[in-house]
Structure 1
Amino acid sequence: MWPSRDVETSQGDASWNYLRFFPNVKPYVYMHPTADGLHELVILDGLRSKVVSNSDDPPNSFHSRDLFSPHSTIQDAWKYVGRMDDRVTLVNGEKVLPLPIEGRIRDHPLVAEAVVFGAQRDFPGLLVFKGPRAQELKDVEFVDNIWPAVEDANSRAEGFSRISKEAIIPIASGVSYLRTDKGTIIRAKVYLAFEREISTLYESIQGQASGIERPDLPCLTRELLSICRKDFNLDIETVDVDLLNVGMDSLKAAHFSNAIRTRFYIESEEK
């Protein structure tokens, strides 16, 4: 049922890690387009080795939830990239598909691995494991070097899926991370292994520090509108506008909230 690598590829074939289906299997395979150029492997009714069905779309089919990306030039050649179950669900219910983001960052020559995190958080972040060529770089230099790749990944992602520079956690070269036999990350275990670093990042961005400014209401209104325009490029003229309708996503909202807390005095609810 599974695709197999073409054993007749020539020596030096750079596409050795792309899978091709055997001719007797190919008629029973449907690569269902999902998001960001990925496809889910669906086995159609009629394949003798298929013993179970889990969908009637198409009838009596089996949706594997395995995701593949097509080769850019070789027809019917597919690269395994992960599972649909790998999606990261934010606290507001939005589902981030990390695979395209991670794949783009992983292609950078200074990067060994990239892992998107953010389950039940306001916005996603990124663990980036330094490759051997980056072991001498300081964290700030490393992030600056890979930032164009992150921006490229962000340009293809939905607003709530985008990674901010402040939400990147560099991991030293040589630090191990848990992988499957196929070489893909074991997401849940990576999150557990770096739980402290992840929590520290969110605490830093969403810190509870209170500022000292106590402007009156008209001044506060002007300052909040100014923050929206200058810091988040939101073209608004009044506080009565629905921010979601003018481009405020979960990531911007988190930074906006932090900007308010760190600048303006907020009276504690504790008595």
Structure 2
Amino acid sequence: MAAYLTCTAAQAPQNHGFVSLNQLLESRASSHPHLDVAAFPELTDGTWKVTGFTYSSLFLASNAAAHCYIRTSSLSARTDSSQRIVALLAPSGADLLVTLFAALRLGYAVLLLAPQNTPEAIAHLCRTTSATHLICHPSLRSRPIADIQIIELVPRDIWKNSDPIVPLFLTPDEEMDMPALVMHTSGSTGMPKPVYHPHRIWTQAIPCIPGEPAFTTTPLFHGGSADLLRAMNALSTLYLFSSTHPITVSNILGAMSATTSRITAFLSVPYILKMLAEDPRGLQMLQRMELVSTGGAPLPEALGDEMVRRGVRLVSRLGSSECGFLMSSHREYETDREWSWLRDDSAPSPTPLRFEPAGEDDEFELVVPREWTTRVVANREDGSFATGDLYVPHRSIPHAWQYRGRTDDIVVLTNGKKVSAQPLESALRASPHIAEAIVFGASRASLGVLVLPSTTSPTAGPGMILSCVAQLNQTTPPYAHILPALVVVLPLSHGASLPRTSKGSLVRPRALVQYAEAIDGAYRRFEEGGGGEEAGDVRGYVRRVVMEAVRQKQAVVVGDDEDLFELGVDSLQAMAIRNALQKTVGAGRVLGSTVVYDFPSVNK
């Protein structure tokens, strides 16, 4: 089993001696040149083929790319010990990996940018980190990014060049505390914030526990980089799904069928696991795995329980950009079915994770101590990091904790996106037609809102409230949109029964519990569709549905044969299209959750 994937910093044996990523790759290329380290299944002319790297080929390809940047005067090799950062904007794939290690070889730290960021967010991150250049994939060059020099990725045919090894200006010990990767938060409370990761936390704090190959759907610009670097330290192989392909059951299984190794672990996020578990082919694949990991967002309890009941060896993993890998629910899978209870393996150590009482109902906030080897951000005077995550202890399993929510108002969707409810609620309350607004959506695919109309507005009916929500959606990113079907208008008489503090402030957690049945009903109706709407001109109706989903993200005209995902349709928009079409076909026929991915154009 791939034990290196569940080993936390508290358990990691410090026995391999690596302290920098350049040292790690060059040493592995010398000691294990022919061992596979990373591979990317890619769909070419209808056939899945693997672009793979051994330690040696990755080292030589990245060295050749580094030389190309030097020859073209795009980037320069390090000549001093100053901090240098270059931004990298590319789909998750082989090109990103080679470019990452080429930039590291030249002495740059790499700001990994998620392509889903807006141009404004990308520009903000580049300014905040003082990035000197933005290396951009050709498919993303159309984005207007201001105030930074943009250079393109090195073509793949350059990877085969036999160039002299680019010398390193700094020794590993001099490099270990300098930034290697710059990740970023999701920007749930505004613009995304950079998080600086020094070389040592991806080498010194990572175990060398060789294991079986694993497959991940998580992109390199998110958690995929963490698992890849764990694999590199552990002399193991990681297969990575390329983000240039739509995430469908058929594509995932096709990509896995092209691998040349026996895959024993599957790593993903809740919404993809849900899609796989609902398809017999996907479920059979998950059942064959020795380990199926979920992370990035809470997996709905009922779904996880059903997966475990059906024989899936499900493990939940907890980590963050600020603190690295913290806990998992790794256990004896045949006898222990408590997949959602994270095990604190740091408890016996002198500086364990701390769980501090917070609020009611036996809830505790997780605090990461200053001494935690992968912690890179502190928000307390003693150097610790208070995560804001609330947990409850298991009644009988020692040091086992279950996630219950946040100390703040962050809503974590099933795709891992984090949305601050407070700004959305404040914006809606600012309307004279709305007295109270309570955003919901934790562990769901999309946001909804409970709305109490104002008693002083004669026009505060459902139509006016939906208009207020539509105006709000025009100012927020697509993943933070509130869908009209998930707007629940409360009767005016409920105003007196909303839970409030002594100062009159709304108590959101209690309100969400109080209206749990109404919220569940809204999602159920949304997912099943109302049924019976007359489509008339089928193609015209589908075109209107698609345009409605796309128009708030970008002003484009969608051709009937255009690929929706090439236009930038994301998972939330795909779900909105599917549910709108479901209302037309009615309850007698259920459209698959991946219908838009499987037929990604109006004509299809």
TM-score interval (norm. to shorter) = 0.5 to 0.7
Mean Cα deviation higher: 124-133 or 225-234: 225-234
Correspondent of 1:36 among 190, 198, 209:
190
Structure 1 unaligned blocks of 5 or more = 1-32, 40-51, 67-82, 214-218
| Aligned-residue identity in percent | 23
Match of 2:522 in 1: 201
SS of the equivalent of 1:85 reads coil
Distance between the aligned counterparts of 2:407 and 2:471, measured in 1? Answer: 22
**1:229 to 2:383 alignment:** no
**1:57 to 2:377 alignment:** yes
Distance between the aligned counterparts of 2:460 and 2:482, measured in 1? Answer: 20
Distance between the aligned counterparts of 2:577 and 2:483, measured in 1? Answer: 13
Match of 1:115 in 2: 438
CA deviation string 1:167-187 (max 9, x = no partner): 322223334211234544322
CA contact (8 A) 2:550 2:573 kept: yes
Q: Which has the larger radius of gyration?
A: 2
Match of 1:261 in 2: 582
CA deviation string 1:187-229 (max 9, x = no partner): 222112112222222223222566799xxxxx98887456423
One-letter identity of the residue aligned with 1:195: A
Q: Structure 2 matches for 1:1-271, cutoff 5 A?
A: 35-36=189-190, 57-58=377-378, 60-61=382-383, 85-134=408-457, 137=459, 139-143=461-465, 147-148=467-468, 150-173=469-492, 174-208=495-529, 224=542, 227-229=545-547, 232-233=550-551, 235-237=557-559, 241=563, 243=565, 245-264=566-585
One-letter identity of the residue aligned with 1:126: V
Distance between the aligned counterparts of 2:463 and 2:545, measured in 1? Answer: 28
TM-score by length of 1: 0.56
SS of the equivalent of 2:523 reads helix
Match of 1:71 in 2: none
Q: CA deviation at 1:154?
A: 2.7
For residues 230 and 201 of structure 1, do their structure 2 counterparts lie closer, same or farther at Cα, with a shift above 3 Å needed? Answer: closer
For residues 260 and 268 of structure 1, do their structure 2 counterparts lie closer, same or farther at Cα, with a shift above 3 Å needed? Answer: closer
More strand, by proportion: 2
Distance between the aligned counterparts of 2:477 and 2:573, measured in 1? Answer: 13
Distance between the aligned counterparts of 2:538 and 2:564, measured in 1? Answer: 18
CA deviation string 1:69-111 (max 9, x = no partner): xxxxxxxxxxxxxx76321122222222111111111222333
How many residues were matched structurally? 201
CA contact (8 A) 1:36 1:100 kept: no
SS of the equivalent of 1:246 reads coil
Distance between the aligned counterparts of 1:164 and 1:101, measured in 2? Answer: 13
Distance between the aligned counterparts of 2:448 and 2:498, measured in 1? Answer: 17
CA contact (8 A) 2:446 2:483 kept: no
Q: CA deviation at 1:115?
A: 0.7
For residues 155 and 36 of structure 1, do their structure 2 counterparts lie closer, same or farther at Cα, with a shift above 3 Å needed? Answer: farther
Distance between the aligned counterparts of 1:117 and 1:180, measured in 2? Answer: 20
One-letter identity of the residue aligned with 1:248: V
CA contact (8 A) 1:206 1:255 kept: no
One-letter identity of the residue aligned with 2:578: S
TM-score by length of 2: 0.28
For residues 210 and 164 of structure 1, do their structure 2 counterparts lie closer, same or farther at Cα, with a shift above 3 Å needed? Answer: closer
For residues 125 and 196 of structure 1, do their structure 2 counterparts lie closer, same or farther at Cα, with a shift above 3 Å needed? Answer: same
Q: CA deviation at 1:256?
A: 0.8
One-letter identity of the residue aligned with 1:114: A
* Cα RMSD (Å): 4.1
Distance between the aligned counterparts of 1:190 and 1:196, measured in 2? Answer: 11
Distance between the aligned counterparts of 1:53 and 1:60, measured in 2? Answer: 11
One-letter identity of the residue aligned with 1:177: L
One-letter identity of the residue aligned with 1:103: S
Mean Cα deviation higher: 101-110 or 178-187: 178-187
SS of the equivalent of 1:119 reads coil
